[in-house]
Structure 1
Amino acid sequence: MSHIVSIEVEIRDLEAIRQATHRLQLPEAIFGEVQLFSERKTGWAIQLRDWRYPVVANLENGRLDYDNYAGRWGRQQELDQFLQRYAVEAAVLQARKQGYTTTEQPLVDGSIKLLIQVGGEG
Structure 2
Amino acid sequence: MSHVVQISTQVRDAAAVRAGCVRLGLDQPVEGEVKLFSETVTGLAVQLRQWRYPVVFNTTTGETKYDNYQGHWGKQERLDEFLQAYAVEKTTIEARRKGYSVTEQSLADGSVKLSLSTGS
Work out whether the TM-score is over 0.5. Answer: yes
The answer for the alignment partner of 1:31 in structure 2 is 31
Task: Measure, in 2, the Cα distance between the counterparts of 1:10 and 1:62.
Answer: 5
Compute the displacement of 1:118 (Å): 2.9
Partner Cα separation in structure 2 for residue 26 and residue 47 of structure 1:
7
TM-score, structure 1 as length reference: 0.96
Q: Which residue of 1 aligns with 2:21?
A: 21
Q: Give 3-state SS (helix, strand or coil) of 2:9's partner.
A: coil
Q: Across the two proteins, how many residue pairs are aligned to each other?
A: 120
Report the Cα distance in structure 2 between the residues aligned to 1:116 and 1:62, rounded to whole angstroms.
Answer: 25
1:50 corresponds in structure 2 to: 50
**TM-score where L is the length of structure 2:** 0.98
Equivalent residue, structure 2, for 1:110: 110
Question: In structure 2, what is the Cα distance between the partners aligned to 1:87 and 1:63?
Answer: 15
State the distance in 2 between where 1:42 and 1:105 align: 35
Inter-partner Cα distance in structure 1 for 2:118 and 2:35: 44
* Structure 2: segments with no counterpart, 5+ residues: none
SS of equivalent to 1:43: strand
1:65-109 deviation line (CA, Å, top 9, x unaligned) = 000000000000000000001001000000000010000000111
Q: CA deviation at 1:119?
A: 4.3
Displacement over 3 Å in runs of 4+: none
Q: Which blocks of at least 5 consecutive residues in structure 1 are unaligned?
A: none
Aligned amino acid, residue 46 of structure 1 = V
